[in-house]
Chains A and B, each alone.
Chain A
Amino acid sequence: MIYLQLFYVYLKIGFFGFGGGYAMLSLIQHEVVVRNGWITNQQFTDIIAISQMTPGPIALNSATYIGYTVTGNVWGSLLATLAVSMPSLTLMVLLTKFYMKLNGNRYVSGAMFGMQPMVIGLILAAALLLFTPDTFVDYWSWIIFAVCFLASLKKVNPILLIVLSGVAGMILYY
């Protein structure tokens, strides 16, 4: 039952997606590429590129896109999008309600403290998992990577970098 599976996977992604967009990537990738094989690594990279150029959080974007790709209809898309949003909606409401009590609780801050290195590790893993031959096709790929890496350390706008590298791709490969 693909719909049930899709719902479960995106609910899980929403529930364990600590650390925001990039940290959620390896979670999404693990579920949809490695474990379920719904899309290829290359398709996954393309979704991230599209996501960068379109408004909205990457987790929502990927849910809508993958939901459609996997089921071939709008309902799959809607289901995955709702599933990934639900934990956020319920947990944030609870947190807002109990914020005053939780704020400064040492066990809560301990858990946060322990999760921090994991979140950074997950972002790193998301990048490492994309170092594949179909992403890095020749030495130009490495040049684009190096230039964009340095530029984004210098806080150049990511959308600009994606657009420019798209133009570079058109010139180099077409």
Chain B
Amino acid sequence: MFFTLFWSFLKIGVFTFGGGYAMIPLIERELIDRKGWIARDRFLEMLTLAQSAPGPIALNTAVFVGYSKDKMRGAVAAALGVIVPSFVILLLIAIFFTDFKDNHVVEAMFKGMRPAVVSLIAAPVIGLARGMNLYRIGLGIVAAAAVWRLHVSPVLLIIAGAVGGILWVVYRNRKKTQKP
């Protein structure tokens, strides 16, 4: 089981380009259709969970599936499957990239890619903000400005958001109980 889990997630890990969401169709094919390890309705549940926990979504998903199959051993096997390809490839790049990053062709390539990277990060903001009311969008903009201009730690904002959300629930409950 250890090896099967590791191997399945290694396969998924190698083909997951561009973050956790790219992994979804691969998981569907490998784990639901081929192996039948998770039920389709459990799959949505799993995605919600993987998104609400901290850490990379791809890794969280692997831990969930691994743990459901074979407890802690399974979780470690599946996590390693995601970690190993990423680790090996990036280590090789880190070791050899320094040798040719001053190469003129490579430098020219990266000059072209840098603004593209910025656009790829900025674009999802539009889609994510679409479902929110103006008040919450405003809050997001304030948070962005705090990190961008004042170098406020993102950790602080995450904590503030969680605490604020809980306090809001408490406040709303109190209001509800006051009304007959």
Q: Which residues of A contact B (CB under 8 A)?
A: 12, 14-22, 24-27, 30, 34, 42, 45-46, 48-61, 64-65, 68-69, 74, 77-78, 81, 84-85, 87-89, 91-93, 95-97, 99, 106-107, 109-131, 135-137, 141-142, 144-146, 148-149, 152-153, 157-159, 161-162, 164-170, 172-174
- Chain B interface (Cβ < 8 Å from any Cβ of A): 13-20, 45, 49-60, 63-64, 67-68, 72, 75-76, 79, 82-83, 85-87, 89-91, 93-95, 97, 101, 104-105, 107-129, 132, 136-137, 139-148, 151, 153-155, 157-166, 168-170, 173
- Most B CB contacts (10 A, CB to CB) among A24, A42, A64, A135 go to A64
CB A98 to nearest CB in B, in angstroms, measures 11
Residues of chain A within 8 A of B115, CB atoms compared? 135-136, 141-142, 144-145, 148, 165
Ranked nearest first, the 8 interchain pairs of A and B with the lowest CB-CB distance are: A169-B112, A114-B165, A56-B86, A121-B143, A88-B55, A57-B56, A110-B169, A118-B161
| Contact A148 B120, CB 8 Å, known A54-B86, A69-B94 | yes
Task: Name the contact of A152 in the complex, choosing from B75, B119, B136 (C-beta under 8 A).
Answer: B119
- What residues on A are CB-neighbors of B105 within 8 Å? 170, 174
Contact call A162/B117, Cβ cutoff below 8 A: yes
Report which of B18, B20, B111, B163 forms a contact with A173, defined as CB distance below 8 A: B111
CA–CA, A93 to B147, complex, Å? 31
Contact B56 A116 (CB under 8 A): no
- Chain B residue nearest to A125 (CB atoms) is B147
Residue contact A148 to B108, C-beta cutoff 8 Å: no
| Contact residues of B: prevailing secondary structure | helix
Please, which residue of chain B has its CB at the minimum distance from the CB of A161? B116
Closest CB in chain B relative to A119 CB, distance in Å: 8
Contacts of B157 in A (CB 8 A): 118, 121-122
B87 touches A81 (CB 8 A): yes
**Complex contact B158–A165 (CB within 8 A):** no
Asked if residues B125 and A124 are in contact (CB atoms below 8 Å), the reply is yes
| Min CB–CB distance A171 → chain B (angstroms) | 8
Q: Are B86 and A42 in contact (CB under 8 A)?
A: no
Given A109-B169, A165-B113, A168-B112, 15 other A-B residues pairs in contact with their CB atoms under 8 A: A16-B159, A49-B113, A49-B116, A54-B17, A54-B89, A65-B90, A77-B94, A114-B161, A123-B125, A125-B146, A145-B118, A148-B115, A157-B18, A164-B116, A172-B108
8 A–B contacts from the bound complex (CB under 8 Å): A17-B55, A49-B114, A118-B139, A121-B146, A122-B147, A130-B117, A165-B115, A170-B108
Which of chain A's residues have a CB closer than 8 A to the CB of B127? 153
- Are A46 and B89 closer than 8 Å at their CB atoms? no
Evaluate contact between A121 and B75: CB separation under 8 angstroms. Answer: no
With contacts A152-B123, A158-B120, A166-B112 taken as known, whether A24 is within 8 angstroms of B56 at the C-beta atoms is yes
CB within 8 A of B63: which of A45, A92, A142, A162?
A92
* Chain A residues whose CB sits within 8 angstroms of the CB of B145 once the complex forms: 125
B158, A123: Cβ atoms under 8 Å?
no
Contact A145 B168 (CB under 8 A): no
Residues of A within 8 A of B124 (CB): 22, 123, 152
Option from B58, B86, B143 in Cβ contact (under 8 Å) with A118: B143
Chain B nearest Cβ from A95, distance in angstroms: 5
Given contacts A60-B86, A92-B64, A162-B116, contact A170 B49 (CB under 8 A): no
